[in-house]
Amino acid sequence: NEAYASRNEGVVKLTSQLANLSEELEEVKAEMDAHGDSVTDGAPLIEIKKAASRLTAEIKHMDLRIGVLQHSLIDAQRKTRHAQVARLNSQSSIEGLRLTSQGSFDTLV
């Protein structure tokens, strides 16, 4: 009877360990399934690609705006330079000199 009780106690312990290990196995399987779903789920990658596409479009738009602003600035500088030359020419015509757009003086005849 003692041998039976001892072996029965061993079987109970082993059955308990088996239950614990089975529970841990199920938890690991669930984690693996969740991880596998997230790895094979392409939604994050698609969102990243969409964001990169939006950034590319925004960069192109900003490049266009920069080009327009550069053109406006160059045009304003040209007009300012032309106005300065005209003003200096009107002042220097009294003295018989004319300022060219390159910044040199020509004598008036």
pLDDT, residue 42, reads 76
- pLDDT of the chain, 109 residues: tens digit per residue: 888 888 999 999 999 999 999 999 999 999 888 877 766 677 788 899 999 999 999 999 999 999 999 999 999 999 998 888 888 777 765 555 565 655 565 655 5
Q: What is the DSSP letter of 94?
A: G
**Which pTM value belongs to this model?**
0.46
User: For the chain, what is the total number of helices (H) and then of strands (E)?
Assistant: 2, 2
Using CA atoms, how far residue 34 sits from 29, 37, 79, in Å, is: 9, 5, 67
Tokens of residue 84, six digits: 């300065």
Instruction: Decide if 98 contacts 105 (C-beta within 8 A).
Output: yes
